[in-house]
Structure 1
């Protein structure tokens, strides 16, 4: 019988390391004889690992509020979290109440304080003007963008940015800091805080445009300039019809290099815990907010679809007192809060995983729901349903009537989730939201 004590009550360090757009099938893999994730692989040998983890939805906007609260994406009436002082409590707030010092570092615009993602964090390093000023990270860009908002110059800047990405490989909007920078600041925070600590890091390098140091690329047998990588990435957003068969292997190559780069930075966090003698007093989670498409089902990047390439993610939980096990079954990332706070959640699924996992894009954005079983998946978009068969890491679209009768009925039953609405009441207006889309490279949305 597994120890049922909650990690929040028995351990002094809780570390959640998530990588944006990290596909499940990139962990434990290699390229040109070099492993993509040597540090993650080593930790997984001592951990509980699900095959796969399942994100609650196919984008950051779906997963992050769900991961921090345990709620489904559609239980919020718009993107973000309610303001502090209202329910539900976030994972950071619950740990803060238990005496943890709390820190988060993420440069995804949709994990910023603008959307109240900072609730419960003592130290919050995001893309906001406040954080950029503190760390000298180009606050002037925000000032310039605010200055030209609602003027013809903003439209011109958007068109110029697309041309700059296509022909020069440079962006007026995107300035995400590489993983090494936020890891440096995370390590500084760890050294300054010796009490109980909760650290959440969200790495952006595995998100397009897939930039990594040349030393990483050289490990896998080739190098590309930043200009070329950005030009290649831009096709996924403004010219998918221009993507050639030759482009796809190059996209996957530069993506795999970012996977190795993020793994390297994760290794630095783990090494810090080891050097402190704290790894054996720590729970460490490694996961992702969603996956990434490289042409499967005609999809590049990520958007409102529920294919496994977009919702199947790594999910590794290291607990020093729990036996290591690779579970041949799925588990929902949504259960992270219950796992850390109550000692239930993922720890209840160690035998064979969850029979069924509900996934969706929230109803305020689209009408798309799905249920992933162990062998089949049902996807429901308004009045249209389709099914897929899962196996050996592949997913194949099949007629719904090819799903065995009993399983088909169970999958359809699991589509009917009782959602209790929570009002976000965000102060973010449409223009600010569009700025965040632009900053992440989604200029066509």
Structure 2
């Protein structure tokens, strides 16, 4: 459609990294994404610098740490200031900018529409633990409308398109037959109800909504609910395959950069967190990142560096926007704290010395990872019995499930990581730490179903 490259950024909400086989897992849930991976750069240690939805998406689209842009809570009281969003930057450069999304229209977060010339609303509900969500079929209907618009009115112009799929988010309601691919047992046998009753968050799920309905239907096996999640992942993978066919059929693949990522993962019972995305364990903050470069750019960098290559260095979702700008030859603004991952392909970047994450939606925590070591610190008391100041330290090489807290055993390492994290906070925000200045936005209450 033009001499410049196009960009299609696909974000699959709530997609765990370990459901993508090419990132090192054994799950057979996403063959279409795995197929694209064979033509792409894959980053096996990619972290969201803030969770959940609002903080993570804002971080991706600004390329800026949440300590600077200030959005550290989902549905919080703070609105994004004058930091430019990626779409604004590309709009100024003459790109046609299109969103196939609902963040700006359904979450009172209007900054997610900034910079888009066209916004295709995919409907649904964004806070959907009790509700009905939009599905990938409808998202693809709107994506096709977006491509039709490009073909009709902008045939010779380059574009940036953001497409947002929601299927792996609660409630898990895949079409009939999808969960059965991953479950062969008796869903009435198990201890799901009693496990949910053991935590305040679990009890809140039992108060009503989709989980209460599921239990009333006879489901009591946690593995069946996990199969429902996997069914949603398999379903959205098929929708992604359809999207790729649209791009290919329009003759766009050669000149289009395609990126797949997620805002955060999902707890499926690990650490007693059920069907939500709070806490900073790996299943929540480590997210997929796959980048397929246009053919000409691939040839310039070298196919052996960007096609079917997995990079294990530590990277963050602040790096996505700088990577896109670098590929398009657009200068990175000084507000961006991320780096271009094309430098990894060129051999100039081995990964960050440390990566970080934070949460302030259902609890207040912050995290640092350096090498194989990861530390999580609680800033406020949480509903799982952990007090402010509580620290957990894990050796991810030996304990990828984060099952053994080594904070006391490896006290020197814990203090070193805690000091590195504290130094970074003081250097960036001084005494104006948004984690302490902003209240938790969606506290857990067992008196009513969760929002």
Tell me what 1:213 maps to. Answer: 175
Q: Which whole-Å CA distance do the structure 1 matches of 2:269 and 2:106 have between them? A: 27
Give 1:373's match in structure 2, choosing from 367, 370, 374: 370
Tell me what 2:93 maps to. Answer: 98
Tell me what 1:5 maps to. Answer: none
Residue 145 of structure 2 corresponds to residue 188 of structure 1: yes
2:67 alignment partner, SS class: helix
Contact in 1 for aligned 2:378/2:391 (Cα 8 Å): yes
Tell me what 2:354 maps to. Answer: 356
**Residues 172/25 of structure 1: CA separation in 2 closer, same or farther (3 Å cut):** closer
Unpaired runs of 5+ residues, structure 1, are 1-8, 139-170, 226-230, 424-429
Contact in 2 for aligned 1:288/1:314 (Cα 8 Å): yes
- For residues 214-253 of structure 1, give each alpha carbon's deviation from its aligned partner in whole angstroms, at most 9, with x where no partner exists: 253455466999xxxxx99996852399989952101110
Q: Tell me the CA shift for residue 46 of structure 1.
A: 1.1
**Residues 93/56 of structure 1: CA separation in 2 closer, same or farther (3 Å cut):** same
Tell me what 2:403 maps to. Answer: 396
1:399 alignment partner, SS class: coil
Tell me what 2:17 maps to. Answer: 24
Unpaired runs of 5+ residues, structure 2, are 188-192, 299-305, 328-338, 380-388, 433-438
Give 1:198's match in structure 2, choosing from 144, 160, 167: 160
The structure whose residues are more often helix, as a share, is 1
Deviates more, 1:39-48 or 1:393-402: 393-402
Q: Tell me the CA shift for residue 57 of structure 1.
A: 2.3
Q: Which whole-Å CA distance do the structure 2 matches of 1:29 and 1:220 have between them? A: 19
- For residues 46-73 of structure 1, give each alpha carbon's deviation from its aligned partner in whole angstroms, at most 9, with x where no partner exists: 1111113211123112201111101222
**Residues 11/414 of structure 1: CA separation in 2 closer, same or farther (3 Å cut):** farther
Q: TM-score, normalised by structure 2?
A: 0.71
Give 1:384's match in structure 2, choosing from 364, 386, 390: 390
Q: Tell me the CA shift for residue 408 of structure 1.
A: 5.5
Tell me what 2:291 maps to. Answer: 317
Q: Which whole-Å CA distance do the structure 1 matches of 2:93 and 2:77 have between them? A: 24
Residue 312 of structure 2 corresponds to residue 306 of structure 1: no
Contact in 2 for aligned 1:27/1:314 (Cα 8 Å): yes
Tell me what 2:120 maps to. Answer: 125
**Residues 255/366 of structure 1: CA separation in 2 closer, same or farther (3 Å cut):** closer
Tell me what 2:132 maps to. Answer: 175
Q: Which whole-Å CA distance do the structure 2 matches of 1:377 and 1:184 have between them? A: 42
Q: Tell me the CA shift for residue 386 of structure 1.
A: 1.8
- For residues 96-148 of structure 1, give each alpha carbon's deviation from its aligned partner in whole angstroms, at most 9, with x where no partner exists: 11111112123458974644211111222347xxxx6xxxx79xxxxxxxxxx
- For residues 65-108 of structure 1, give each alpha carbon's deviation from its aligned partner in whole angstroms, at most 9, with x where no partner exists: 1111012223344548857xx62110111111111111212345
Count how many residue pairs are aligned between Structure 1 and Structure 2: 374
Give 1:293's match in structure 2, choosing from 267, 276, 284: 267
- For residues 335-385 of structure 1, give each alpha carbon's deviation from its aligned partner in whole angstroms, at most 9, with x where no partner exists: 1111111354222345643331011125x9854211022311011223332
1:214 alignment partner, SS class: coil
Contact in 1 for aligned 2:6/2:256 (Cα 8 Å): yes
RMSD: 4.1
2:288 alignment partner, SS class: strand
2:419 alignment partner, SS class: helix
1:99 alignment partner, SS class: coil
**Residues 236/276 of structure 1: CA separation in 2 closer, same or farther (3 Å cut):** farther
Q: Which whole-Å CA distance do the structure 2 matches of 1:414 and 1:405 have between them? A: 14
Q: For residues 257-296 of structure 1, what are the structure 2 equivalents within 5 Å? A: 257-296=231-270
Q: Tell me the CA shift for residue 181 of structure 1.
A: 0.5
**Residues 55/236 of structure 1: CA separation in 2 closer, same or farther (3 Å cut):** farther
Give 2:59's match in structure 1, choosing from 52, 63, 66: 66
Tell me what 2:227 maps to. Answer: 253
- For residues 23-63 of structure 1, give each alpha carbon's deviation from its aligned partner in whole angstroms, at most 9, with x where no partner exists: 01000189xx9931111101111111111321112311220
Tell me what 1:337 maps to. Answer: 321
- For residues 174-209 of structure 1, give each alpha carbon's deviation from its aligned partner in whole angstroms, at most 9, with x where no partner exists: 232211101111122112203211111121110011
